[in-house]
Structure 1
Amino acid sequence: MLEAIRRLLQQLGGALVFYTIVPLPSAWPLDFQRIARWAPWIGLLVGVLLAGTNFLLLQIPLSSFLRGVLVLVVWIAITGGLHLDGAIDTADGLAVPDPARRLAVMSDSRTGAYGAIAAIVLILLKVGAIADLSSPQACSVLILAPIWGRWGQLVAIARYPYLKAEGKGAFHRCSLQLPQDLWPSLLLLAAIGIIPVWLGPDRWVSHLGQFALGSILSWSVGAWFYRRLRGMTGDSYGAIVEWTEALLTCCLSIAIH
């Protein structure tokens, strides 16, 4: 039992270090194998931090736009821009008509026009959606979006082949063990679906709709990238997270109104 707990803490520490910039003590042992299964739980942590930031900013007399910008800055900072960088590289790769050259373009550290456009669109979508989250209750949207974004990533890792023998995301695919590595995240999603039962019939129906929308987007975004790329890379994993987050945040902010 103690050994299992020790391994769990090592994997959680590895997931935290890989997916965020949240610091851990230097003596904390890290295990980066199979950390993808904890990605939605990292999304929960990111979401709670974002919701808390949004709630605190709501107590300050700021314009909605400025509040949205500040929350997004925290959002990007927490992850170190990891997923946004992947979305940028993926957009540059998809702009290349020749599939044989896409991986080389995606590996290029230089940002092209399409990557810059993708980054601008993602930023505008998120800032606009966050600016509409003007009530404390709407902060739940900021918790759900990072969870579903990373669930979409986990599904893509499990379902689709990896395109490169090496790469920053290759170890996710190689070390993932199915179906057991899906259970931690399925338990989290089950909790998200069950909790609204105690909120009353009116809130329950609303949260059920949010759950359904998150499920659809997290699957369909990954499927779309697979159809275009015929496989996955570390960059496309990041793109799945970013686009799922952005689309879900926008849709839920519209639904709340």
Structure 2
Amino acid sequence: MKNFVSSFFGAVIFYSRIPLPSFISISFFKIALWLPWIGVLLASLLSVFALILDVIGFPPLTKIVLLVFAWICVTGGLHFDGAIDAGDAWGVQGDQKKRLEVMQDSRVGAYGLISGIFLVLLKIVSLYELSIPLWWGLMISMSWGRWGQLGAIALYPYVREEGKGAFLKKDLNFPLDGIIGSLFIIFLIIIQIYFLGNSLTQVITTNIIGASISLMMGWLIQKPLGGHTGDTYGATVEWSEALILCFLSIKS
């Protein structure tokens, strides 16, 4: 049990910029198990931040812009940076080796810049036009988006032998760990039924949207490389979040 808790705190340290006391024991073993729960945690913190902005009196659009900025800051830009690097690779006319070389280049190219700008704009507009409560939109998109990374880790090869994200796949045992990492779905369903009063149709629709988009992005993003890297793991999270928010903004 102690190792289990240490793994969760390791996931908090790795996937966010949330400070933890120095006396807390951390482990980076199997931290990918906690990806969806990190999404729930970050969504909760951002929801509190949005509430504070409301209390201060910021107008809606300004609040959303500040919220998306805080979103990037609280993750340390980890996934966002990966999305930009992956965007540069998508613009390359070449084989897998050439694309991987471009992704390793610290300089940002045109395709990476365009990808980053489009992602930010997509999140701002979608959050502004959400058809559900803001906090719930954050929780759905951020938990399912990170589940998409867990799915990418499980389903596709890691194409860099010495990549920084290689240990994420190496540590996990599928399918058991994939099942354990998906238990957050029960938490989401409980919220929908007992706190939001959603119908069975709404529950099924919302979660199918989250799962389908996340799986689709994990598949699409790996196609040019024949597998995933740490950068494409981040891109899977970012694009899944953005597209889930787009669908959640559709008026019923």
Indicate if the aligned counterparts of 1:34 and 1:177 stay in contact, CA closer than 8 A. Answer: no
Give the C-alpha shift of residue 82 in structure 1: 0.2
AA matched with 2:219: A
Superposed CA deviations along residues 41-82 of structure 1, whole A, max 9, x for unmatched, are: 111101111222223323343232211111101101110000
Give the C-alpha shift of residue 204 in structure 1: 4.0
Q: Aligned partners of 1:83 and 1:234: how far apart in 2?
A: 9
Give the C-alpha shift of residue 203 in structure 1: 4.2
2:44 match: 48
Change (3 A) 1:53 1:254: farther
Match of 2:233 among 226, 237, 240: 237
Superposed CA deviations along residues 153-197 of structure 1, whole A, max 9, x for unmatched, are: 000000000101011111111111112212332211123234433
Q: Aligned partners of 2:27 and 2:251: how far apart in 1?
A: 40
AA matched with 1:105: V
Q: Work out whether 1:186 is the aligned partner of 2:188.
A: no
Q: Aligned partners of 1:234 and 1:205: how far apart in 2?
A: 36
1:112 match: 109
Alignment of 1:34-183 (within 5 A): 34-99=30-95, 100-133=97-130, 137-183=133-179
DSSP-derived class of the 2:116 partner:
helix
Percent identity between the two aligned chains: 41
Change (3 A) 1:59 1:207: farther
Give the C-alpha shift of residue 88 in structure 1: 0.2
Give the C-alpha shift of residue 94 in structure 1: 1.2
Alignment of 1:206-221 (within 5 A): 206-221=202-217
Question: What TM-score, normalized to structure 1?
Answer: 0.91
Structure 1: runs of 5 or more not aligned: none
Indicate if the aligned counterparts of 1:50 and 1:143 stay in contact, CA closer than 8 A. Answer: no
**RMSD (CA atoms):** 1.8
Question: What TM-score, normalized to structure 2?
Answer: 0.93
Indicate if the aligned counterparts of 2:90 and 2:224 stay in contact, CA closer than 8 A. Answer: yes
AA matched with 2:127: I
Change (3 A) 1:85 1:23: same
Indicate if the aligned counterparts of 1:86 and 1:239 stay in contact, CA closer than 8 A. Answer: yes
Match of 2:245 among 237, 243, 249: 249
Greater mean alpha carbon deviation, residues 43-52 or residues 235-244: 43-52
Superposed CA deviations along residues 13-33 of structure 1, whole A, max 9, x for unmatched, are: 110000001111122222112
Indicate if the aligned counterparts of 1:196 and 1:204 stay in contact, CA closer than 8 A. Answer: no
1:27 match: 23
Q: Aligned partners of 2:197 and 2:139: how far apart in 1?
A: 21
AA matched with 1:158: A
AA matched with 1:119: G
Structure 2: runs of 5 or more not aligned: none
Indicate if the aligned counterparts of 1:34 and 1:175 stay in contact, CA closer than 8 A. Answer: yes
Q: Aligned partners of 1:238 and 1:138: how far apart in 2?
A: 23
| Structure with more of its chain in helix, by fraction | 1
Indicate if the aligned counterparts of 1:152 and 1:240 stay in contact, CA closer than 8 A. Answer: yes
Change (3 A) 1:130 1:26: same
AA matched with 2:205: G
Superposed CA deviations along residues 220-257 of structure 1, whole A, max 9, x for unmatched, are: 0101112222110000000000000011112102246x
Change (3 A) 1:218 1:139: same
